[in-house]
């Protein structure tokens, strides 16, 4: 087992350990979800175990997904990048759990919308760097039907997706520190729309262009 795989398992079980260590000190109601504009949704503290369990499930099953992917041979070409993506996701989820527990025990010490938005931005920057390395598969990357139908379209889509994720994440990270709290939902919403719609639209355009060339 690689050191990276061991790190994935450690970070995937870490949220359960953190919740267990402070569970008796937690209030009955704890923050479960933060809106970009500052709103908070609360839930019973036992629900933290559900979130921690999801992180554990991801840490266990995401490394196994290449074995069931119909295009599993392609993972040999980007397996290191795939492991990096999985590791970064479980680290991010563990960090979110730590922030949630901190806010539950010491409310108001940090600006949750800014920290979470900045964290998501950093995650997107990392994913943007990894995305151009991802080869055609059914579980990772910008997986539009048109990209999955053509290797050329796939490669173009991942390169564009990488740029959009990187610069979108950079914008979110910067805005987390300089944009007023009330404006953050609009910034996050705009970035998310561009990240989703632009690569998807261009993937379709490139596929139609390729189809026209093949029909000639």
Higher pLDDT, 74 or 108: 74
Q: How many CA atoms lie within 13 A of 21 on its CB side?
A: 11
pLDDT at 32: 80
Strands 29-34 and 40-44: antiparallel
b/e 125-153 (16+ beta carbons within 10 angstroms → b): bbbbebbbbbbbbeebbbbbebbbebeeb
Mean confidence (pLDDT) of the chain: 91
pLDDT band at 1 (very low <50, low <70, confident <90, very high): confident
pLDDT band at 187 (very low <50, low <70, confident <90, very high): confident
Chain segment 14-47, per-residue pLDDT in tens: 999 999 999 999 999 888 877 655 567 888 999 9
pLDDT band per the 50, 70, 90 thresholds, residue 113? confident
User: How wide is the angle at C-alpha 49 spanned by C-alphas 120 and 22, nearest 5°?
Assistant: 90
Closest of 132, 122, 192 to residue 157, by C-alpha = 132
Domain count, the chain: 1
| Average pLDDT over every residue of 125-153 | 96
Q: Is 54 in contact with 136 (CB distance < 8 Å)? A: no
Count CB-CB contacts under 10 A for residue 214: 8
Domain hosting 123: range is: 3-215
Mean pLDDT, rounded, for 162-170? 96
For 53, other C-beta atoms within 10 Å of its C-beta total: 13
* pLDDT at residue 117, rounded to an integer: 87
Q: Tell me the mean pLDDT in the region 140-144.
A: 95
What is residue 212's predicted lDDT score, i.e. its pLDDT?
78
Determine the Cα–Cα distance for residues 63 and 47; give it in Å rounded to an integer: 25
Please write the tens of the pLDDT for every residue from 43-95.
899 999 999 999 999 989 988 899 999 999 999 999 999 999 999 999 999 99
SS (H, E, C) 105-159: HCCCCCCHHHHHHHHHHHHHHHHHHHHHHCCCCCCCCCCCHHHHCCHHHHHHHHH
Q: Determine the 3-state secondary structure of 29 from DSSP.
A: strand
Compute the average pLDDT of residues 149-165: 97
Please state which of the ranges 27-31, 110-114, 152-156 shows the lowest mean pLDDT. 110-114
């Amino acid at each position: 087992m690689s050191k990276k795989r061991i790190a994935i398992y450690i970070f995937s079980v870490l949220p359960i350990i953190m919740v267990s260590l402070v569970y008796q000190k937690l209030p009955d109601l704890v923050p479960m979800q933060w809106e970009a504009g500052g709103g908070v949704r609360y839930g019973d503290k036992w629900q933290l175990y559900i979130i921690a369990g999801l992180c554990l499930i991801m840490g266990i099953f995401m490394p196994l997904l290449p074995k069931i992917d119909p295009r599993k041979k392609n993972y040999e070409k980007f397996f290191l990048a795939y492991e990096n993506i999985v590791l970064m996701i479980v680290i991010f989820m563990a960090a979110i759990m730590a922030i949630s527990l901190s806010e539950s025990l010491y409310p108001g010490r940090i600006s949750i919308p800014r920290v979470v938005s900045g964290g998501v931005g950093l995650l997107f920057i990392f994913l943007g760097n990894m995305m151009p390395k991802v080869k055609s598969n059914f579980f990772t990357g910008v997986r539009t039907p048109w990209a999955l139908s053509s290797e050329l379209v796939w490669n173009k889509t991942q390169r564009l997706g990488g740029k959009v994720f990187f610069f979108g994440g950079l914008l979110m990270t910067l805005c987390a520190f300089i944009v007023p709290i009330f404006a953050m939902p609009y910034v996050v919403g705009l970035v998310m729309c561009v990240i989703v719609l632009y690569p998807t639209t261009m993937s379709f355009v490139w596929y139609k262009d390729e189809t026209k060339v093949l029909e000639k």
